[in-house]
Structures are given as structure tokens and as C-alpha cells.
A = this chain, B = another copy of it.
Amino acid sequence: MKLSLWCIGKTNESYLKEGIQQYCKKLPHYLPFEYIEWPDVKNREKLSIDLLKKEEEKLILSKLSTSDYLILLDEQGETMSSKGFAQYLQKKGNSINGTCVLLIGGAYGFSEALYQRANGKISLSPMTLSHQMVRLFAVEQLYRAYSILRGEKYHHD
């Protein structure tokens, strides 16, 4: 399985960029991994929230292959411990042959069509994280998950 973490829009804060990069460098030691920031929708400030979500939906659907397994990082998703997340990824790794796309939504979340296209939904926290900070949280949890699966010392119970 190849793991592809997608988000929409550049990371604005340099401190977040730096943290994200640190984990993005480490993850390919565990599995084929890529991190993609798709460009923001043009003139987004002028769109209504619904229209913006629709445009983000079009962008994402145009980038997805039909064979991609799509998991949304979504507040409404399944909650799990870091160990549970590691087991979840292990299971997916055993059953998915192609690419597993983990998608972080824009500032207003996902359109209905993306919920329908999704194969799964995961919640990182019942609290709302900024859609920028959640990127750092996500790469850290991915790193933690694979270090757990390898039995490395990074994670303490």
C-alpha cells in the first residue's frame, strides 16, 4: 500500500511547515508515502461556503483515481487510540493494493459528494483543530502508528 496524505491549500505558518516536513522525511522509511498540498481554489474569498466546498470537491475528485481508497480525516469519523490507529493502518495495508488517500478537508470540511465517495472516516480528536494544524497532528500520528507497528520506542503507553 502507498499512503498519500492530501490537503487543500498551502501551509501558511512556517513553524507548521517545518514540523510537517520533519515527519514527512521520516515516514518513507516505513512505507511509500507522499504528502500533497493541492492548490487553493481560486478566488475562494468570493465564494459562499457551499460553493467553495463544491469547488474543493471537484478538485479532489479530479485528482483521485477510481481505485484509490479514500479516508477522510473528519470530526464525525471513528475515534481511536494511537494503537488503534496503528492496527487500523495495518489492516488497510493488508487489504489495499494501491493507494490509500488520507484527505484533510478545507476550513469548512467536506461536501456531501466527498462523504459519499469516501471509503472511511477517521477523527483525530473530538476537538476541532485548525485545518492547518491538523496536518502536523496527522503526520505525527502516522509516524507514531508505524513506529508502534515496528515496535520502536517512540510511543509510550
Contacts and interface: CB of A to CB of B under 8 A. Distances in A.
Nearest to A21: B15
A156 B107 contact: yes
Interface stretch (A25-33, A38-46, A56-64, A80-88): A80-88
A81 B15 contact: no
Nearest to A109: B156
A125 B81 CA distance: 8
A11 to B, nearest CB: 11
Interface residues of A, number: 30
A112 interface: no
Contacts of A141: 127
Contacts of A136: 133, 136
Interface in A5-24: 13-16, 18-19, 22
A40 B105 CA distance: 38
Contacts of A108: 156
A134 to B, nearest CB: 10
Contacts of A156: 107-109, 128
Interface string A140-156: 11001000000000011
Interface of A: 13-16, 18-19, 22, 79-82, 85, 107-109, 124-130, 133, 136-137, 140-141, 144, 155-156
Given A16-B19, A128-B156, A130-B140, 7 more contacts: A14-B15, A19-B19, A124-B125, A128-B144, A129-B137, A130-B144, A133-B140
Q: What are the 4 closest A-B residue pairs judged by CB atoms, nearest first? A: A125-B125, A15-B18, A15-B15, A82-B128
